[in-house]
Amino acid sequence: MLKCYRIGNAQIIGRREVQSNYFTTAYNDNTGQLLAVLADGSIDHPNGRKAAILAVELCVDEFFQERVRSNTCEAMLEVALKASKHIEDTIYTRRIPKISLTIALLKERDFTFFNVGGNRLYLYNGHNERVLNYDMKSPYSGGTVKLDVKNMIGIYSVGVYSITHPVERIKIVESNKYSAFDKAQTLIETVEEKALDNQLNATALLIEVKK
């Protein structure tokens, strides 16, 4: 299981009352595909947490029902729209949050991603950081990348990338001293050390291609 990847993750609640970041990874032994999902419920309210959980759980369900596994951005957009409708139908109180949703699907070295909202994806190649999904002209973005051995994918909520400098992230992620798990922990420790009074929920999810 997970023969091709190493995974690390960490998160903090920050100065919020509710942790509205929710994430998961799921591996399909039959197809050799890895799914990673990060959702941010946006508002500091129980509905934010609930919406994030609903979005992630629906993505995982779709993954095992082969909708996301078609490995296209169009399929991921369809799932994201379905998640949005599911949240609207489920949360009836006035504070219905907007969702930032990131879906990443890997099979060996093929990496397909979809993102809507404030989360960001980065690709590390051993000495540099490349943002994959930042597009001012569109509310969502997606694409497919061919990965190399030792590439690292970083999936971050706003509470991570907005207050850490690229040099800080590169130094941590590209270090040979740490495992993927330790790198994620160190990223979040770097966030904590800044001790911002308005610190948002912060989640870091790292995936390393190891062969």
Q: 62-110, pLDDT tens digit by residue?
A: 888 866 666 688 889 999 999 999 999 998 777 778 899 999 999 888 9
In the sheet that holds 100-107, the strands lie side by side as 21-28, 33-40, 100-107, 110-116, 140-146
Residue 82: CB partners within 8 Å, gap ≥ 6? Answer: 58, 62
- pLDDT(191) > 60: yes
- pLDDT(1) > 50: no
Fold annotation for 5-209: Phosphatase 2c; domain 1 (3.60.40)
Give rounded-to-5 percent helix, strand, coil for the chain.
Answer: 30, 30, 35
What residues form DSSP beta bridges with 34?
Answer: 27, 106
Q: What are the angstrom distances between the C-alpha of 188 and each of 24, 85, 150?
A: 17, 32, 22
